[in-house]
Each structure stands twice: as structure tokens, then as C-alpha cells.
Amino acid sequence: MARNKFDVDERLESPFQLKHLKRAGKYIARHKWKMIAALVLSALASVATLYIPKITQWVLDEAVPAGDAAMIGRMALLFVGVIALSILFTTIRSRMMAHVSQRIIYDIREDLFAHLQRLPFSYYDSRPAGKILVRVINYVNSVSDILSNGIINMILEIINLVFIVVFMYSTNATLATVIVAGLPFFIGVIILIKPRQRKAWQNQSNKNSNYNAYLAESIDGVRVSQLFDRQEVNMGILEKLATACRSAWLRAVKISNLVWLSSETMTQLVLTFLYIAGVYWMGGGAMVSFGVILAMGQYVSRFWQPITNLANIYNSFVNNIAYLERIFETMDEPVIVDDAPDAEELPPISGEVDFQDVSFAYEEGVPVLEHMDLHVNAGESIALVGPTGAGKSTVINLLCRFYNLNGGRILLHDREGKAHDISRVTLHSLRSQLGIMLQDSFIFSGSLKDNIRYGRLDATDEEIREAARRVRADEFIRRMPMGYQTEIKERGSNLSQGERQLIAFARTLLSDPAILILDEATSSIDTQTEKLLQEGIQELLKNRTSIIVAHRLSTIKNCDRILYISNRGIAEMGSHDELMQKRGLYYQLYTAQVQEESPEKAAS
């Protein structure tokens, strides 16, 4: 699979469809009663404020001409009461919708993260981590408001519009017709702008994703950057990405602002025509009074304000459609490594393994393994050696079912002797019986104790310490400020690489697996510590199937069989002594390594 890089725009695999909106509706439906209550409160606040122009009209047309001070006082109290009610209802509604908005963020992120946890290694192999993070954090934040407040406000503004039209026509039908006459022109502008606006925000989404991807990569690799004095070069790359992000945003905003500009322009034009027509009709037969003109003038802004608000909501909706597309695209990413519909629980296994005609490729047309056959007896120790990229770690990845096979099958035998295809058993029952220590010893934030029992939360403190002792980690842990309770920084940055691998080793051993898998497990441990560690490893390997990938060939001399992986399969197989006698590929690799480490020993 081709990898998407920080400088490559992501291509949207599926365009936005109406079903995406229906799908987003399920997050809204979970909070429908609070949203309905918020809508009712908003509607009451809106209707209350619509009486303000009426109050103005009554004062100017009735109370002032009649000199009725009592009526003016009552209207003033009514005016204050209306505003107070509006503020009260709006405040309650705002608090309710803030809660709903945060719940929607939580729900979407929970679903998104749960799906990301199930996606196969191939998904993460093909895209930068920063482009995944921006979807979980930035995009979810953006769409949550439009899914909560945006929906409420849209319905509210439509209701406002209906009430305003009713109030306008009840006040003066002729002037009300003048006010609504500009609406068709505004709708035409919206239709013309929409396609350009959506494409502009999709482009801005891509540029923002690229920027975040490079930022995450740079932070992760800051030590290497400083080591090679790459700060200026990195700043140049970031500046280029930031410029592209800024340009895309400015273009998108420029197009979006045309909607607001059209609404404001139309409001002012309509208001101008209203006053011209009102003054003309007032002087030509008193069709309208001064109070009516003033009230209708207030209704103009109140009529076009919901339209402007709807235009802004539409803007926000179009802007966030691009983000919603990316979120659902991630949720729709197929979980290609998953339990089969009829998957069964894998019974306790004996450790016997069969690779039968196994073929695999990470990228189509570039095979790593072809028609590989291998039988591993229960309790047997197998070592995998060979050149970089030959497929040693791939064999382990396939046994753990981190990837699906392109051909063939892998069988595990239970204690009754029955063979089980790993593609037909549940992933949990498979991986819970495999102890895996990968080449990358990832250490999580938290205490040392929590890291060791990461895969077995019910482990006792004594079991944790025993696992650490067996891999020779107990000694350095006890020297730490708080021993096993010492807090570890992100990625174990306050530990040496060797210490991180010892912790990962203890974590693996604690699970007490039927099959132990070590992928370059001792590559970052000094020679003295490795000699001590081998004692614990040899004890653990007794009566347990083990598959070991090792760079230091001296550490696997005692394995029952050594497999030299090359040319898409097993090129040589046998014990250390047997392979040395053959003087083939393994012999060449071993003697070259010995000569590199100790020329005097190689010469002898």
C-alpha cells in the first residue's frame, strides 16, 4: 500500500452523500430531549423579542399622540420584561447546548477511537500519525458545534422567520411584500457560490492535515533533527506547509464571506426601498403611519437577521462537511484483520505450529514470502536470521495475525492435538496465548509497575517483581527514585533504550505465553546485561515454543533450529553446527559478524 506523506494531499475516497447527514443524526438523537427543550426556550425568547417593534409602534401611534403617560410607563415595563425573559431563556438554552455539544464530541471521539483500535497495521503503515490525530481532535471539535447548536439554530431561525413574516404582514402587508422581494436574488447567489465553497474547504482540510502531519513527525523526531542540525531545513518545510495552509484558508474564507456580504447588501437595499416607499405612501394619502414605518424598519433587520444567520449556518455547515467526510471516511475504513463471522475461541495450545504454503506481500506485486512451509514442534526453539528486509519479522507478524495472508494458512495445535486455522479463531483467544516482544519497545506513560502488567492487569505485585527479576530488570528498577512506582515519561524518555527493552521483556514474560516471540529483543541491551538476560531466557524457554529473530547470532546458537530467511522463503534450515558445516549463507553471515566483533577470534 502506497504511503500518504505529509506533503501529499489526501484523496477523499467517497464523496459526501445524504446518508452521511443521516448518520450524523444518530449522535444528535441521543440528546433529542435536551435539544427539544433548548429549541422551545429559544423559540420563546425569540417570540418575546418580536413584540419589541410592536411596543414601539403602540407608543408612537397611541400613547404619545394621546399624551398617555401611564401607557408609556406600562410599555416601558413590558419592554424590560420582554428583554429579561429573552435573556433568561437564552442563558438556560446556552448551558444546555454546551453540555450537548461536549457529549457529541465525546460520543464521536469514542466511536472513532474504538474503530482506530481495531484497524490493522496496514492502515497505520500507509499514513502519518498526524493526519490521524487531526481527524480525532480538530475535525471532531469543528463538527460538534454544527451538529448541536447548528441544528438548533437552523430550526430556530426558520421558526423566527415564520413568526416575523406573520408579524410583518399583520402590521402592513404592502411594506412586508417590499421587504421579502429581495429574497429570490439572495437564494440565487447562494446557489452560485455553493460548489466553489465546498471545494475550497476540502482543499483547506487537506492542507491543514498536511501541516499537522509534519508537525507531529517533527516533534517525534526532534532529537534526530537537533543531532543533525536540521532546524533551519525543518523550519523551511514547515513554513511552506503553513503558507499553503494559510492560503487555502484565506481563499475558503474569501468565498464564504460572499454569502455574508450578499446578505448585508440585500438588507441595506431593502431597508432603503422600504423607507422610500413608506415616506411616499405616508405623504400620498396616509396609507401608513410613522409608527408603522418605524416598526417595519425594525422588522427589516429582524427579517434579514435570521436569513443572515441561516447563511452563516450554511457557511459553517459547508465548511464542516469536509471534516465530517474525513471523520466518516475513517470510521468506514474496513477492519480487514478481524474475527470471522463463525470464529471460535482457540483452546489452550500446545505450541505446535504449521505454516502451509504461506504467501504474503505488503504491497501488491512485491511479494515478501512465497509458498513457505514450516513445521514447529511443541517446545521447540526456532531462530530466524537473514538480511534486512528478507521477511523475518513478517513471519512473526503473520503468526500473530497482524496482517492477513495472501495465500496458504497457519495452523496452531491445541493440547488435544487438533489443528486450528488462525484465521478461523478470535483474535483475543489467539493473541492472549502468544507472548510478543517486538523490535520497537514502546513504553507508555505511567508507573513502571503499570507498564510491566500492561497485558495482564490481574498480576500481583510479587508476580510483577518475579518477571522483572527473571529478565534482570529488578536491579535497575530498585535503584529508581520510587522503585516500581516510578512514573515514566512519554515513550519512556527517562529510561535508556536498554532499560526500555528490559521492561518490555518483563511485560512479555508476565503473560506466561504458550508461544514466546522475540523480535530483536536484545538489540539495544549491552553485552554484559545480555549475558545475564540469557540465563533468564533459557530458563523461560524450557518446554515452551519460541520463535526468535536476532541480530546477534551468538545469542541463538543454542536454538533447536535456525532458519535463514532469504529469497521469499527459507533458504537454509538446521542447527548452528549443521549450518556451519554446510558453509552456506548462515556460515557466511556468522563468520562475517564474528570477524566484525572480534577479528582475533575469527582468525583462529
The secondary structure of 539-599 as a DSSP string is HHHTTSEEEEE-SSGGGGTTSSEEEEEETTEEEEEE-HHHHHHHTSHHHHHHHHHHHHH-H
Residue 276 lies in a domain: yes
Residue 219 lies in a domain: yes
- Bridge partners of residue 372, in order along the sequence: 358
Same domain for 479 and 465, yes or no, is: yes
Q: CB-hemisphere CA count at 13 Å for 513?
A: 25
CB 297 within 8 A of CB 275: yes
Element (H, E) at 437: strand 434-437
Residue 409 grid cell: 494458512
Looking at 289, 309, 331, the residue that finishes a domain is 331
CA dist 580 and 591 (Å) reads: 9
pTM of full prediction above 0.75:
no
Number of domains forming the structure of the chain: 3
CATH at residue 453: 3.40.50.300
CA dist 28 and 285 (Å) reads: 54
DSSP 110-159: HHHHHHHHHS-HHHHHTS-HHHHHHIIIIIHHHHHHIIIIIHHHHHHHHH
Same domain for 425 and 277, yes or no, is: no
Same domain for 216 and 361, yes or no, is: no
Same domain for 505 and 553, yes or no, is: no
CA dist 581 and 577 (Å) reads: 6
Residue 295 lies in a domain: yes
Same domain for 186 and 320, yes or no, is: yes
CA dist 414 and 378 (Å) reads: 10
Q: Determine the 3-state secondary structure of 455 from DSSP.
A: coil
| Alpha-carbon distance values, 68 to 56, 78, 177, 197, 397 (Å) | 14, 15, 33, 55, 90
Residue 155's contacts (CB-CB under 8 Å, 6 or more residues apart) are 39
CA dist 208 and 206 (Å) reads: 5
Name the residue with cell 410592536: 54
CB 93 within 8 A of CB 148: no
pLDDT of residue 21: 72
Residue 426 grid cell: 478470535
Residue 11 lies in a domain: no
Same domain for 464 and 348, yes or no, is: no
Element (H, E) at 255: helix 231-283
Residue 7 lies in a domain: no
Beta pairing class for 349-363 and 407-414: antiparallel
As a whole number of Å, the end-to-end CA separation of the chain is 48
Name the residue with cell 426556550: 41
Looking at 331, 352, 386, the residue that finishes a domain is 331
Same domain for 477 and 496, yes or no, is: yes
Which parts of the chain sit beneath pLDDT 50? 1-3, 13-14, 602-604
Looking at 277, 299, 331, the residue that finishes a domain is 331
CB 178 within 8 A of CB 270: yes
CA dist 530 and 516 (Å) reads: 18
Helix ranges (H only) for 332-447 are 392-399, 427-431
Residue 467's contacts (CB-CB under 8 Å, 6 or more residues apart) are 452, 459, 506, 507, 509, 510
Q: CB-hemisphere CA count at 13 Å for 244?
A: 18
CB 168 within 8 A of CB 304: no
- Average pLDDT along the chain: 81
Same domain for 163 and 267, yes or no, is: yes
pLDDT of residue 344: 92
Same domain for 291 and 394, yes or no, is: no
Measured over the CA atoms of residue 231, residue 237, residue 243 and residue 249, the dihedral's sign is negative
CB 427 within 8 A of CB 339: yes
CB 49 within 8 A of CB 86: yes
CA dist 444 and 20 (Å) reads: 36
Same domain for 299 and 206, yes or no, is: yes
Same domain for 364 and 297, yes or no, is: no
Residue 142 lies in a domain: yes
CATH at residue 188: 1.20.1560.10
Same domain for 272 and 401, yes or no, is: no
- Bridge partners of residue 409, in order along the sequence: 356
Write out the residue range of the structural domain in which residue 591 sits. 339-433+515-523+542-599
pLDDT of residue 414: 92
pLDDT of residue 597: 65
pLDDT in tens, 487-528: 887 767 778 777 787 888 888 888 888 898 888 766 656 666
Residue 535 lies in a domain: no
Residue 531 lies in a domain: no
CA dist 407 and 460 (Å) reads: 42
pLDDT of residue 502: 81
pLDDT in tens, 117-159: 888 888 887 777 777 887 888 788 778 777 776 777 787 788 8
CA dist 201 and 303 (Å) reads: 29
pLDDT of residue 530: 64
pLDDT of residue 522: 63
